[in-house]
Amino acid sequence: MTATTDQPTRHRPTDAATDDATLLGKEASRAVRRRSMRLLGDLLRPHTKALAWAALLVVASTLGQVAGPWLVAVAIDRAVPALADGSGTPLALTGAGYLAAAVLGGVAAGAYVRAAARIAQAVLLDLRRRVFRQTQRLSLEFHESYTSGRIISRQTSDLEALRELLDGGLTGVVSSLLLMVFTFAGLALLDWRSGVVLAVAFVPAWLLTRWFQRMSQRYYREQRTASARLIVKFVETMTGMRAVQAFRRQPTTEAEYGRLGEDYRDANLQIFGVNGRFQPGLILIGNLTVVAALAVGGWRVLDGALEVGVLAAVLLYCKRFFQPVQQLGMFYNAFQSATAALEKVSGLLAEEPTVVEPARPLPLPGGRARGELRLDHVRFQYGDGPVVLPDLDLTIPAGQTVAVVGTTGAGKSTVAKLVTRFYDASAGAVRLDGVDVRDLASADLRRAVVMVTQEAYLFSGSVRENIALGRPDATQAEIEAAARAVGAHEFVLEMPDGYDTDVNKRGGRVSAGQRQLLSFARAFLADPAVLVLDEATSSLDMPGERLVQRGLQTLLADRTAIIIAHRLSTVAIADRVLVMEHGRVVEDGTPEELVAGEGRYARLHAAWRDSLV
């Protein structure tokens, strides 16, 4: 059931399915952009006041900067001649004005950076929380097709790219853009002819920037996809380290990882290649503009049509105009990277759970589950894949223990996933005490039906906390009683800190059998009406097996149970055995009846018994 990256993502045309695509069609590209913008709008909405303040500050700081060359022109053309006439006041005033503008610009710029950083950090925190909440909210179907590595790269490298942009890039982009606009306005007001020169020079600069934009957008998407693939491979190898080492896959995984690393390097090199043409191109255009402005302005100064001071200011403005363009180019990288990241994150956030909470949940009859299960002509397929269960019709009376056995791929785990409502039936219905599970509030369903999985997952924390997951408000006495009931109490007491032992620390490590007993204790404490148990396939040593079997018997007591059984001893304690093949129940009866018969179970049982001798 392990999901792979290239597994087709079904019925999700516009969302996470697109996040690995580098070249999107126009329509899809626009849809993705709209989705990102909507998310950005959502994230920024709570900060409108702070944003307005930041905007005011950045305007003030830019005005401070743009005032400089203007004052230089005034100083050269008015104040210096006035000095020659014996009046020093204009020069002193212009000097003071220059200083004041510089101080105002500096102070406002500092305040702007701080204000922007506060907004950026708040937005990032919000986004981080949203991504985490969303990944927990999404149904199992999503997690089985979207590899954990991809989710990890959403939460790490994508959010990191956004952080980089928001931390410094964005403030830079905004102030650069504003500086360009104000510089152009200042120049045009001072001398419109020079304004025309600049406007003409802006055309090739604009074309170059558009080219850069297009190319880098494509390469940044490639880079992010390559980086996500690298992370996926890494996570997959690390989580499957046992299998990697057991099958001596190291050379293969190393080669694959190396290849993905090369792809990532190539993607980065392409980006630098584009940068390497964009930056010098802009510098060249900038310098040519200065030369043109000097040539045009110089002639006019000679003709007396332009004052020297104005020419000096014009040159300063022309030079300054292209500085932010270069900066913009640099920020644009961070911006591209962040846009690509935002597209992916917004794709993840746009995912809808396939298993949805009912709008108007129905109560269970009597307010409490009795545990009668009915699979009413259930048909099931994963997405648009092949039909796994063609027509399963089954009633399990309350309190019955049913062992499900069958060949691999027969659909046993699928039945478990339907009863626990990790998936919904494609047709037909699963009913608990006569109520369709789709009509039950998930809180009621989770209280009534508990699944104990093969891996018996232990979270970091103490043994006590791990058992208490079954019922978080349980007292210490109840936790101990649950552990005692399933036979876990003794070994817990032998651990270094008893119930307070950290399961991840040295000395807190538990064996496979103990792990199962702890998960039984957890389920016992939850006390559900229906228990679904995917029995671990790994075989235990005999004492461990006996211990687990005894724990299991206590746990089952008089609840309804569906056990995907891998052990003969488990099947023997069941009230009823279902033998499944290709999604159908081919045999159904008590263990004794089936053993006595001639069917598949009798053969399976004989083979099993022989293997034990």
Q: Is 414 in the site for ligand ATP (CB under 6 A)?
A: yes
Pick the binder of ligand ATP from 81, 363, 409, 496 (CB under 6 A). 409
The first and second tokens of residue 436, run together, are 């369709």
DSSP secondary structure letter of residue 17: G
- Residue 411 vs 487, nearer CB to ligand ATP: 411
- Closest contact distance (angstroms) between CB of 459 and ligand ATP is 23
What letter represents residue 78's amino acid?
R
The answer to whether residues 69 and 186 touch, using CB atoms and an 8 Å cutoff, is yes
Q: Minimal distance in Å, beta carbon 131 to ligand ATP? A: 22
Q: How far is the CB of 591 from ligand ATP (least distance, A)?
A: 19
**For residue 583, which phi and psi values (nearest 5 degrees)?**
80, 5
**With contacts defined by CB under 6 A, how many residues of the chain interact with ligand ATP?**
13
Our CB check for ligand ATP shows the closer of 414 and 560 to be: 414
DSSP assignment of 57-123: HHHHHHHHHHHHHHHHHHIIIIIHHHHHTT--HHHHHHHHHHHHHHHHHHHHHHHHHHHHHHHHHHH
CA distance 425 to 360: 19
Contact present, 455 and 397 (Cβ < 8 Å): no
Span of 104-112, 214-222, 403-411, 470-478 interacting with ligand ATP by CB under 6 A = 403-411
Report CA 177 to chain centroid distance, whole Å: 31
Of the candidate residues 85, 408, 477, 598, the single one contacting ligand ATP (CB under 6 A) = 408
In angstroms, the CA 194 to CA 293 distance is: 6
Minimal distance in Å, beta carbon 496 to ligand ATP?
36
With respect to ligand ATP, which residue has the nearer C-beta, 192 or 457?
A: 457
Three-state secondary-structure class, residue 3 = coil
Structure tokens at 294: 């000097």
Shortest gap between Cβ of 565 and ligand ATP (angstroms)?
10
Q: Which of the ranges 44-52, 359-367, 402-410, 586-594 carries the binding residues for ligand ATP, by CB under 6 A?
A: 402-410
Choosing from 53, 184, 257, 382, the residue that interacts with ligand ATP (CB under 6 A) is 382
The CA-based angle 97-102-105, given to 5 degrees, is: 120
The answer to whether 410 contacts ligand ATP (rule: CB under 6 A) is yes
**Contact status: 271 vs ligand ATP (CB under 6 A):** no
CB 313 within 8 A of CB 74: no
Q: Least distance to ligand ATP from the beta carbon of 569, Å?
A: 18
Per CB under 6 A, 578 contacts ligand ATP: no
Q: Residue 388 interacts with ligand ATP (CB under 6 A)?
A: yes
For ligand ATP, give the closer residue by CB, 53 or 382.
382
For 20, 150, 234, the CA distances from 147, given in Å and listed in that order, are 12, 5, 12
Stretches 158-166, 271-279, 285-293, 405-413: which one binds ligand ATP (CB under 6 A)? 405-413
179 bridge partner residues: none
Interface region with ligand ATP, contact rule CB under 6 A, candidates 95-103, 241-249, 404-412, 525-533 = 404-412
Please, are residues 165 and 119 in contact by the beta-carbon 8 Å criterion? no
Q: Which stretch binds ligand ATP (CB under 6 A): 149-157, 401-409, 508-516, 598-606?
A: 401-409
Query: Binding of ligand ATP at residue 421 (CB under 6 A)?
Result: no
Among 20, 77, 144, 256, binds ligand ATP (CB under 6 A): 144
- The smaller minimum CB distance to ligand ATP, of residues 149 and 406, is found at 406
Provide the minimum distance between the beta carbon of 553 and ligand ATP in the complex, in angstroms, as a whole number. 23
- Could you say whether residue 385 binds ligand ATP (CB under 6 A)? yes
Q: Does 465 bind ligand ATP (CB under 6 A)?
A: no
Smallest distance, ligand ATP to C-beta of residue 581, A? 9
3-state SS, residue 420: coil
| C-alpha distance from residue 462 to each of 38, 458, 498, 505, 537 (Å) | 42, 9, 9, 10, 26
* Shortest Cβ 578–ligand ATP spacing (Å): 11
Hey, CA dihedral for 76, 79, 84, 85, is it positive or negative?
positive
How far apart CA 542 and CA 8 sit, in angstroms, is 43
Distances (CA, A) of 206 to 177, 202, 278, 282: 13, 6, 11, 10
Position 166 contacts ligand ATP (CB under 6 A): no
Give the nearest distance from C-beta 412 to ligand ATP in angstroms: 4
- 412 in contact with ligand ATP (CB under 6 A): yes
Where does this chain bind ligand ATP (CB under 6 A)?
1, 144, 382, 385, 388, 406, 408-414
